[in-house]
Amino acid sequence: MKIGIIGDVHGCIDELKELYETLVKQGVDEVLHLGDLIARGPDSHGVISFCRERQMRGVRGNHEGTVLAAEDLRTAGRYASPKKLAMAQGLSTENREYLLSLPFYLEIPELNALLIHAGVWPTLPMAKQPERGLCTAQLIDPCKPGDTRWNHQDRNGRTEAQNRELGYVFWTEVYNLPQRAFYGHTFWEEPREENGTYGVDTGCVFGGKLTAAVVTEDDVEYVSVSARRIYFP
């Protein structure tokens, strides 16, 4: 069995089509994704439709979560960004249902593989992982599931170094679950491997590359296509 696992697409439809065709030509049995299909790039709706029409399995990212919640936030009288609200209002029924169908994690037992968007907490079974953490984890407090900080300056103005002084670590440093974990969310210039984790987001929307991990029982390789241009910021 051989599968391709695509990192964060962020609306980059042309690069997605090119990478998908490359994976198909390489004879993968299935193409999957790691969430954040949408936002920032040129054609979020087109990306959702492309994945839905091919019945592509994957996981929910933080951007899917905020778009799906946008109208509820407005109804509740809380702030929802105009862009996220407009995207939510523009979703077709089929595309909304596709996003809602995406789980927070996906296990591929045949390949001992675990797909998540962002990260996990050590020693905690997958069924008890906090959903917010699965979508947003970067720097974590290993003893407090759900307590996460960005790996750059966070909303409290703390740098990564300052958060590390408070006991936060990047989640891959303490990963100890038995599955090989494939994740997006955090942008690396090249795919990143550590402690049985594989970071596949290589920043296509920022002018980097759209990357897929090609996974077999015994190996992980990478296939990338270059971004056509810088889409964001």
CATH fold of 3-119+178-226: Purple Acid Phosphatase; chain A, domain 2 (3.60.21)
Place of tokens 């439709």: 49
Paired residues of 106 in beta bridges? 115
Convert the pLDDT of each residue in 109-157 to its tens digit.
Answer: 999 999 999 999 998 999 999 999 999 999 999 999 999 999 887 777 8
Q: With pLDDT > 70 as the criterion, what percentage of the chain qualifies?
A: 97
Evaluate if residue 182 carries a pLDDT over 90.
Answer: yes
Nearest Cα to 32, choosing from 13, 51, 58? 58
Token pair 């029409």 is at which residue?
53
51-95 residue pLDDT tens: 999 999 999 999 999 999 887 766 655 656 788 888 998 999 999
Pairing of strands 113-116, 105-108: antiparallel
Q: What pLDDT, on a 0 to 100 scale, did the predictor assign at position 74?
A: 65
Q: How far apart are the C-alpha atoms of 213 and 210, rounded to whole Å?
A: 10
Return the domain boundaries, the chain. Answer: 3-119+178-226
User: What pLDDT, on a 0 to 100 scale, did the predictor assign at position 155?
Assistant: 72
